[in-house]
Amino acid sequence: MDNWILFGEGLISGITLTLMIGPVTMIILRSGIEINRKAGVYAAAGTWVSDFIFIAITYWMTAVVENWSSDPSTRLKLYLVGGAGLLLIGLFMMRVKKKTYNQVVYQDGMRYIKAFFSGFLINTLSPFTLFFWLGAAVFLHLQKVSPLYYYSGLMLTLGIGDFTKAWIAPRLTKWLKEHHIYWFQIVAGILIACTGGYIIYLGFAG
């Protein structure tokens, strides 16, 4: 019974993260709208790979990472590097040009690679990702059952949620005009840049 309770807690955590409208959601939708559904899935896959890396690091090296990240100077560096990275990515995304989206070349493999690394970088550069998985690892070390139940429930929900976002993104173009898509990308860039700026602020404020 404890195994399934922990699995359920993972599901709830995954649902909560999926419903958050943050940089990860915006980069998945942006890739799906600007390119196609497959690109959205690639962007989502980039975030999943990033999450699995954080899961491995934070669970198997929890004590070391926890002590290391609790040092004030180290936390400031994490926030500054992560925040600056997101800020630059957001500003770069805001430089998008207006274009006709029915002329996009869908078979360009580099677009999918770019989408994958966009998702990977957005997720990896956010200090919130590190501290979320760190907190989860500390919590799981206190449990008597295998942490795989929690991680499985959480990643299953995240996977389904992100895949759904990637799947519906191209359908949004039926209701969105070209200038709407242009401004959607601008808003996505602003959100990511503001998130980076807020992270930098938290680094100095904390």
- pLDDT, one tens digit per residue, over 146-162 is 889 999 999 999 999 99
Contacts 24+ apart (CB under 8 A), 59-64: 59/133, 59/137, 59/140, 59/141, 59/147, 62/134, 62/137, 62/138, 62/141
* Contact residues for 106 (Cβ-Cβ < 8 A; gap 6+): 35, 36, 38
**Lowest mean pLDDT: which of 50-54, 59-63, 119-123?**
59-63
Q: pLDDT digits over 87-141, tens only?
A: 776 777 676 555 544 444 445 678 899 999 999 998 998 878 888 887 788 777 7
Cα distances (Å, whole numbers) of residue 100 to 33, 66, 74, 167: 12, 48, 45, 21
| Residue 20 structural domain | 2-205
Quick one: average pLDDT of 37-59? 92
82-106 in b/e form (b: 16+ CB < 10 A) is: bbbbbbebbeebeebeeeebeeeee
User: What's the predicted TM-score (pTM) here?
Assistant: 0.71
Alpha carbon 88 to chain centroid, angstroms: 16
pLDDT of residue 110: 85
Of residues 91 and 9, more confidence is placed in: 9
Q: For residue 9, give the DSSP letter.
A: H
% pLDDT > 70, the chain: 75
Query: At 99, is the secondary structure helix, strand, or coil?
Result: coil
Q: How many domains does the chain have?
A: 1
pLDDT of residue 40: 92
pLDDT in tens, 63-78: 554 555 556 776 677 6
Under the banding of pLDDT at 50, 70 and 90, the label for residue 1 is low
Contacts of 120 (CB under 8 A, 6+ apart): 46, 47, 49, 50
Q: Which residues have CB under 8 Å from 84's CB, separation 6+? A: 196, 200
Model pLDDT, residue 168: 86
